[in-house]
């Protein structure tokens, strides 16, 4: 693979013709990635500045067609309505199974925006369809956290604890919630233990639909068509979803758990979350109370933590498996 560093004295434009994919990260660009290096060439272009890069990219795109338009732009699906319009909860029948869109509607209208701004939860959207589904919710400044730079699936269940600690050091009493897929949650389920240990009233919503939805979306989106034209690939299956007892899983880590299937069940849980926080997890078993026995370890500073103020809540959202957020369905056109 060729490589070159950007220089202000270089000729204007990209250092080679644009015929492949561009990837940009941390001040470096891969040009023509996934192209054939034998026949088309690819280049690692390092130490670039954003301004010159955007100018070069714009010039390259304009040169792709005589009218400066990308191939297929005339038939590419157009946006319908405003991206900021999230339908009201009554759009979705209470007894129906939860979908990506009904979850966003209920979460947005009955939780995120149902509290005063200084009490509004901070939302962490995990990598995958969760991010795409929730990227138009309305939250106060610094109220939406996501990371796509490295595509770390499953970061959110653990990251909520760090965000909560950061808020506490600044005296901010806002709740922190994470929304992740079931495959993502399986990557970091053990993070729940720290939430209980620190007494953090964070909420982890798991979209427990039984599939790595983003993987199937990327492999072949036609599995989501109506009717589907292909089957889901085996690697997209998340078998833990139907094996785990979700409320018991939460209790096992010292928290409170719910499993919801219908829109009404989700509304009921959101009402509970709006008005209360769960009591803290209580230590149990040998060496946890009274006078320690001979077999109990003695710690330097007593080993006992201050009483915890609360604990976490885990909500398994059993949403429809063969369903996409409305803002990703353009790919089915």
Indicate the angle between helix axes 263-275 and 100-107, nearest 10 degrees: 30
**49 and 7 in one domain?**
yes
d(CA 205, CA 203): 6
Among 47, 62, 77, which residue terminates a domain? 62
Q: What is the pLDDT of residue 51?
A: 74
- Measured CA to CA, the distance from residue 304 to residue 48 in angstroms comes to 53
Assess whether pLDDT exceeds 80 at residue 95: yes
Query: 15 with 137, same domain?
Result: no
Q: b/e per residue, 186-219, with b = 16+ CB within 10 A?
A: bbbbebbebbbebbbbbbbbbbbbbbbbbbbbee
- Whether residue 77 is contained in a domain is answered as no
User: Hunting for tokens 């962490």 — which residue is that?
Assistant: 124
Tell whether 154 and 243 lie within a shared domain: yes
How, if at all, do strands 28-33 and 2-5 pair?
unpaired
Q: For residue 61, which of 50, 71, 51 has the smallest C-alpha distance?
A: 71
Q: Residue 256 — φ and ψ, nearest 5°?
A: -115, 135
Q: Tens digits of per-residue pLDDT, 204-253?
A: 999 999 999 999 998 899 999 999 999 999 999 999 999 999 999 999 99
- The tokens for 4 are 């070159």
* Global pTM value: 0.79
Mean pLDDT of the chain: 84
State the residue range of the domain holding 231: 89-281+306-332
Closest CA to 217 of 322, 86, 73: 322
């Amino acid at each position: 693979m060729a490589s070159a560093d950007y220089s202000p004295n270089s000729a204007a434009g990209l250092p080679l013709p644009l015929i492949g994919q561009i990837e940009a990260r941390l001040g470096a660009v891969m040009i023509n990635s996934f192209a054939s290096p034998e026949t088309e060439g690819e280049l690692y272009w390092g130490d670039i500045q954003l301004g010159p890069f955007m100018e070069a990219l714009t010039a390259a795109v304009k040169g792709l067609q005589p009218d400066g338009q990308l191939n297929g732009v005339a038939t590419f699906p157009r946006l319908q309505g405003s991206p900021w319009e999230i339908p009201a909860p009554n759009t979705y029948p209470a007894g129906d199974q939860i979908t990506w869109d009904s979850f966003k509607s209920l979460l947005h209208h009955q939780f995120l925006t149902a509290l005063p701004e200084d009490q509004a939860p901070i939302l962490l959207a995990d990598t995958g369809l969760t991010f795409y589904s929730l990227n138009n919710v309305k939250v106060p400044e610094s109220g939406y956290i996501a990371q796509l730079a490295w595509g770390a699936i499953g970061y959110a269940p653990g990251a909520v604890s760090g965000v909560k600690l950061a808020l506490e050091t600044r005296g901010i009493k806002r709740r922190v919630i994470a929304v992740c897929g079931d495959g993502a949650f399986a990557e970091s389920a053990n993070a729940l233990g720290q939430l209980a240990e620190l007494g953090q009233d964070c909420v982890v919503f798991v979209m427990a639909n039984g599939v790595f939805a983003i993987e199937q979306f990327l492999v072949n989106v036609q599995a989501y068509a109506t009717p589907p034209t292909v089957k889901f690939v085996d690697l997209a299956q998340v078998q833990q979803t139907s094996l785990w007892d979700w409320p018991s899983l939460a209790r096992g880590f010292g928290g409170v758990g719910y499993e919801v299937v219908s829109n009404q069940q989700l509304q009921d849980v959101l009402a509970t979350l709006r008005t209360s926080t769960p009591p803290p997890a209580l230590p149990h078993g040998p060496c946890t109370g009274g006078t320690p026995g001979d077999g109990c370890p003695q710690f330097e500073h007593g080993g006992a933590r201050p009483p915890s103020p609360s604990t976490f809540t885990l909500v398994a959202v059993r949403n429809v498996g063969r369903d996409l957020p409305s803002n990703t369905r353009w790919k089915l056109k």
